[in-house]
Amino acid sequence: MFKKTVFVASTLLASSLSSVNAAQWHMPTPYGDANHPTKIAYQFAEEVKTATNGDLDIVVHSGASLVKHPEIPRAVRTGQVQMGEIFIGIMGNTHPIFKHDNIPFLATTYDDAEALWQAAKPEMEKQLKKEGMTLLYAVAWPAQSLYTKKPVASLADLAGSRMRAYSPSTSRLADLMGSTPTTIQVPDIPQAFSTGIIDAMVTSPSTGANGQAWDYVNHYTNIQAWIPKNMVVVNTRSFKRLDKDAQQALLTAAANAEEKGWQIVREQAKKDTQTLIDNGITVVEPSDTLVKELSAIGAQMKQEWIDESGAEVKAVLTNYGK
Ligand code: PCA
């Protein structure tokens, strides 16, 4: 009898302790559930919940439903939410280090993109730390290519066009390509095309496939200009308030998410390009002229980027070795 009482008491104590420690966190993400970074975010949250026996419950709010994409960095920095996912390039005006993600032709294969990420990580972590954030993981998108209504043999074919931009670097790119940039979020792309606000965009086969790009463009030129990433960050104070086990659970799940992301993206790129073809989009390799013209723009943007922030950018390029 006595033993049983002790058992009940300690069980109650354990469960009340765990409810005292249990936390529900909110994690806004910018893109909808069909996108592979969002799928990985859900798996990450599930893994953390299991590893902490439910003590850390991360609620994923996808599709910018809780916080608008451009506001997510501030929401995490100020602790309004504990974690968030951000397309790295949108922070390009905060500090040039974030631009490593959108420089055309700096890394165009998945192996190079992984190497660039490893090279950029230390500087990224330093900068995020200054803003009260800790980097958890990043997930790459498939390589970014050109969607247009008409074939593009050279940049002359884009003269006067209106191009979607999704970051400071892509605005600059549109300028240099002789088109006018307009910032448009993914859910607004179909309407922006149908109302003539834009008539071209550079994004992944995935975003084209998810948004049924065949309804508003006919041509996809496989320029594979860069491989951008979403990163997941945590408010550093929130992270430090967790006990050591929960911290470790978060870091382990983050490492797994990052590894899975690099594995999935290669397959995803092939699958989604095939979806574009199956739905009638003409997929072509870029002409030599277009490659030459775009490479020159890439070289110019790289130089402008170096000029903006010598030390940090040079550190990335030295680590990257290219
Ligand atoms: N899709 C997102 C980011 C990169 C991508 O492939 C977008 O177009 O906004």
Ligand 1: list residues with CB < 6 Å.
87, 141, 166, 186, 203-204, 206-207, 228
Q: Give strand ranges (E) for the chain.
A: 23-28, 56-61, 83-87, 133-140, 145-148, 162-165, 180-183, 200-203, 219-221, 229-235, 282-284
On whether residue 78 sits in a domain, the answer given is: yes
Q: What is the pLDDT of residue 181?
A: 98
On whether residue 191 sits in a domain, the answer given is: yes
On whether residue 19 sits in a domain, the answer given is: yes
State whether 61 and 36 are in the same domain: yes
Q: What is the pLDDT of residue 21?
A: 66
Q: What is the pLDDT of residue 20?
A: 53
State whether 168 and 316 are in the same domain: yes
On whether residue 98 sits in a domain, the answer given is: no
* CB contact at 8 A, 38 and 247: no
On whether residue 170 sits in a domain, the answer given is: yes
Specify the number of domains making up the chain. 2
Q: What is the pLDDT of residue 123?
A: 96
CA distances to 122, 208, 250, 266 from 68, in Å:
27, 21, 24, 28
State whether 266 and 277 are in the same domain: no
Q: Which of 36, 68, 203, 217 to mutate to test the pocket of ligand 1 (most atoms within 8 A of CB)?
A: 203
**CATH number assigned to the domain comprising residue 123:** 3.40.190.170
Residue 13: both structure tokens together:
């104590």
What is the DSSP track for 120-168? Answer: HHHHHHHHHHHTTEEEEEEEEPPPPEEEESS--SSGGGGTT-EEEESSH
204 CA distance to ligand 1 middle (Å): 6
On whether residue 155 sits in a domain, the answer given is: yes
On whether residue 257 sits in a domain, the answer given is: yes
State whether 77 and 46 are in the same domain: yes
273 CA distance to ligand 1 middle (Å): 14
Number of H helices and E strands in the chain, helices first, is: 11, 11
37 CA distance to ligand 1 middle (Å): 10
Q: What is the pLDDT of residue 310?
A: 75
State whether 308 and 160 are in the same domain: yes
On whether residue 102 sits in a domain, the answer given is: no
Distance CA 171, CA 165 (A): 5
State whether 165 and 279 are in the same domain: yes
Range of the structural domain that residue 120 is part of: 2-92+109-140+229-270
Q: What is the pLDDT of residue 247?
A: 98
Global pTM reads 0.92
Q: Sign (positive/negative) of CA torsion 31, 35, 40, 42?
A: positive
73 CA distance to ligand 1 middle (Å): 17
Q: Which of 169, 204, 230, 276 to mutate to test the pocket of ligand 1 (most atoms within 8 A of CB)?
A: 204
State whether 18 and 155 are in the same domain: no
35 CA distance to ligand 1 middle (Å): 9
Name the stretches of the chain with pLDDT < 50: 1-19
